[in-house]
Structure formats: structure tokens, C-alpha cells
């Protein structure tokens, strides 16, 4: 009886996500970009995420420039991870091909939206590059990252994905939406992105729980370790990007930074990136709720002690 009720509730959640996906659907050119360019007199990433106010050795204009570099990287990181997300979701559609057709439609729409988001973030990078000095580097390749991530179990991949799609929403609602001093185009990119991500977070959770049901205790224990490995793989990307972004800032900020300032810049960027891409998701109340409902206290402690090395 309990299983039947749960199944009916899940079917409803797939159906609700299809309805919401149809209602919010948008187009890159007509709704988001609308022939606009990024306004470089304004910030891109809000202070709540970029933490530029903590870079007290930078002037106001330099803090704004650093928020623009971080915003550029923010868009590129989404474009990067959405390659593996699309692939994983397409793979999961197979389980529904001859089953629940609403669930199938929900996942097809999810993949279609992530393909569109990848295109959006490629467009964003092109537009930003037109207005900023040359020399910016973003070296991780979407297919390389996908090969590493998709080598792990579905449970671990969906844990990572759930965390990403939950923090995406939290960043928009808590930091991007309320900030009045952002480039209007940058703000719109993440407004429209957020509208579709809300459905993705629901679907990640449904699929994550479905994958969890298929696992033995030993397989789940291994999946917990794989999730930790994925978090550290993300951290490797962030360490490299913090180095690249601090070098780009140093080369293009029109003054000579001292060695001490350069060190503070790189360590401050890494701290901000870890908060943006790892810790804000790991601390998301709903992520913690779902994760801890699936694993043991000892496994939760293993994850927490791994994360504590990144603070
Ligand atoms: Fe997306
Ligand atoms: Fe998404």
C-alpha cells in the first residue's frame, strides 16, 4: 500500500514537472539575449556569491572587474557540467522507454533544456569575450569531465547533480535576484536558467531515489566514496580556475599587484569558488535531507569529514 501511494505521488511529480516545463519554456534569442550585450559598467556575479567585498586590497572598480571574471567563469562552469548531466539524463530515459510515458517525457524535456543551456552558455562566453581584454582561460573540456563523472555509479552521479541543481536555485533566489546592481543581461541569463532548473532538481531527486532502491548496502557504500571522489574532482577544476582567473586579473587590472596581493587574490578566489560550487550545495537543507535519508550516520560523517578539508 505504502509503495503504491509513493508510486502515485512520484508519477504526479513527473507530471507536475512536465506541466511546469511547458509553462516556463523560453528561447535564447527572443527571451534571454534580445540583441543585448553585457554592460561592463555593472557587476556580473553578485557580492553574495563573489565575496568581492572581502578583497579589501582592491578598489571598487577592481572588485567590479573581479565580479565580471567570476561571472564569466560561473557561466562556463554550468556549460561544462551540463554536458555530463545531459548525457546521464538521456541514459536514464532508457529505463522509462516502455514504462511511465510521463516520466519519459519529463526526462526528454530535461535533456532538451540542458542542451539549450549549453548553447546559452557558449553564447554568453562569446558575448563576454567581446567586451573583456584577451587572455582569459577556461581549460576544462566538457567531454573529459563527462568521461570522469560518468565512470562513477548512477547514485554518485545523481548525488552530485542534485547538489548542483539545488545550489543553482539557491544562488538565484538568495543572491542574484535581490541584487539591484548587476548587468541586466547577466541577471536575465540566470533568471531564465533558474526557471528550468527548478524542474530538474525535482527530477534528479526522483531518479536518485529510484537508483538508490536498486543498490545493495555494499554498493551504496561504494557510491558514497565515489560521490566524495567526484567532489574532489570538482575541487581540482576549481583550484586550476582560481589560478587562471587570478593570473588573468593580475595581467589585465592595469596596475602592478604585490606578491602578497596576488596570493590573497588566488586564495580568495578559491575560497569563493569552493563556497559557490561545493559548500553551498552540500549545506543546502533539502540536499542534506534527501542525502541523509538514503545513507547511514557513518557514511554522512565520511562525507562531512571529506568536505571539512575544503573549508
Ligand atoms: Fe541548466
Ligand atoms: Fe539543470
Q: What is the DSSP string of 141-198?
A: -HHHHHHHHTTS-HHHHHHHHHHHHHHHHHHIIIIITT-SSB-HHHHHHHHHHHHHHH
Residue 2 banded pLDDT, cuts 50, 70, 90: low
Number of the ligand closest to the Cα of 193: 1
pLDDT in tens, 15-56: 999 999 999 999 999 999 999 999 999 999 999 999 999 999
Beta-carbon neighbours within 5 Å of ion ligand 1: 117
Number of the ligand closest to the Cα of 80: 1
**Which pLDDT belongs to residue 264?**
98
Question: CA 6, CA 11: separation in Å to the nearest integer?
Answer: 9
Ligand 1 mean position to 78 CA, how many Å?
7
Number of the ligand closest to the Cα of 164: 2
CB-based contact 193:44 (threshold 8 Å): no
Ligand 2 mean position to 252 CA, how many Å?
33
**Which pLDDT belongs to residue 13?**
94
Number of the ligand closest to the Cα of 78: 1
pLDDT in tens, 234-271: 999 999 999 999 999 999 999 999 999 999 999 999 99
Ligand 2 mean position to 309 CA, how many Å?
27
CB-based contact 67:245 (threshold 8 Å): no
Residue 302 banded pLDDT, cuts 50, 70, 90: very high
**What's the whole-number mean pLDDT along residues 285-289?**
97
Ligand 1 mean position to 113 CA, how many Å?
7
Strand partners, 43: 182
Ligand 1 mean position to 81 CA, how many Å?
9
DSSP secondary structure letter of residue 28 = I
pLDDT at 1 over 60: no
**Which pLDDT belongs to residue 311?**
87
**Which pLDDT belongs to residue 253?**
97
Ligand 1 mean position to 257 CA, how many Å?
36
Ligand 1 mean position to 260 CA, how many Å?
37
- Determine what percent of the chain is predicted with pLDDT higher than 70: 97
DSSP secondary structure letter of residue 31 = I
Ligand 2 mean position to 77 CA, how many Å?
12
**What's the whole-number mean pLDDT along residues 204-210?**
97
Ligand 2 mean position to 253 CA, how many Å?
34
pLDDT at 11 over 80: no
pLDDT at 104 over 60: yes
Number of the ligand closest to the Cα of 197: 2
Mean pLDDT of all residues in the chain? 96
Ligand 1 mean position to 49 CA, how many Å?
18
What backbone torsions phi and psi does residue 43 show, to the nearest 5 degrees? -70, 160
Beta-carbon neighbours within 5 Å of ion ligand 2: 165, 197, 200
The pTM of the full predicted model, rounded to 2 decimals, is 0.96
pLDDT at 115 over 80: yes
Ligand 1 mean position to 82 CA, how many Å?
6
pLDDT at 7 over 70: no
Number of the ligand closest to the Cα of 161: 2
**Which pLDDT belongs to residue 177?**
97
Ligand 1 mean position to 197 CA, how many Å?
6
- Residue 250, all three cell numbers: 593580475
Residue-by-residue DSSP string for 217-273 = HHHHHHHHHHHHHHHHHHHHHHHHHHHHHHHHHHHHSSS---HHHHHHHHHHHHHHH
Ligand 1 mean position to 109 CA, how many Å?
12
pLDDT at 165 over 60: yes
Amino acid at each position: 500500500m505504502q509503495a503504491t501511494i509513493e508510486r502515485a505521488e512520484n508519477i504526479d511529480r513527473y507530471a507536475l514537472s512536465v506541466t511546469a516545463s511547458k509553462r516556463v519554456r523560453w528561447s535564447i534569442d527572443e527571451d534571454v539575449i534580445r540583441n543585448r550585450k553585457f554592460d561592463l559598467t555593472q557587476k556580473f556575479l553578485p557580492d553574495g556569491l563573489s565575496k568581492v567585498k572581502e578583497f579589501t586590497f582592491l578598489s571598487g572598480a577592481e572588485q567590479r572587474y573581479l565580479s565580471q571574471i567570476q561571472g564569466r567563469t560561473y557561466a562556463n562552469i554550468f556549460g561544462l557540467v551540463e554536458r555530463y548531466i545531459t548525457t546521464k539524463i538521456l541514459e536514464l530515459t532508457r529505463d522509462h522507454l516502455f514504462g511511465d510515458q510521463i516520466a519519459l517525457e519529463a526526462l526528454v524535456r530535461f535533456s532538451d533544456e540542458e542542451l539549450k543551456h549549453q548553447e546559452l552558455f557558449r553564447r554568453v562566453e562569446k558575448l563576454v569575450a567581446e567586451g573583456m581584454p584577451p587572455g582569459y582561460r577556461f581549460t576544462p573540456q566538457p567531454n573529459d569531465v563527462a568521461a570522469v563523472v560518468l565512470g562513477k555509479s548512477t547514485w554518485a552521479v545523481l548525488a552530485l547533480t542534485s547538489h548542483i541543481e539545488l545550489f543553482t536555485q539557491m544562488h538565484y533566489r538568495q543572491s542574484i535576484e535581490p541584487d539591484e546592481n548587476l548587468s541586466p543581461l547577466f541577471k536575465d541569463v540566470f533568471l531564465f536558467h533558474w526557471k528550468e532548473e527548478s524542474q530538474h532538481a525535482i527530477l534528479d531527486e526522483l531518479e536518485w531515489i529510484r537508483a538508490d532502491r536498486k543498490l545493495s548496502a555494499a554498493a551504496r557504500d561504494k557510491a558514497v566514496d565515489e560521490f566524495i571522489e567526484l567532489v574532489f574532482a570538482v575541487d581540482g577544476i576549481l583550484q586550476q580556475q582560481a589560478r587562471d582567473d587570478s593570473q588573468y586579473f593580475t595581467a589585465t587590472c592595469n596596475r602592478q599587484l604585490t606578491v602578497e596581493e596576488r596570493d590573497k587574490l588566488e586564495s580568495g578566489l578559491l575560497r569563493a569558488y569552493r563556497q559557490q560550487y561545493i559548500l553551498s550545495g552540500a549545506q543546502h537543507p533539502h540536499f542534506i535531507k534527501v542525502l541523509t535519508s538514503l545513507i547511514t550516520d557513518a557514511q554522512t560523517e565520511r562525507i562531512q569529514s571529506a568536505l571539512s578539508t575544503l573549508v
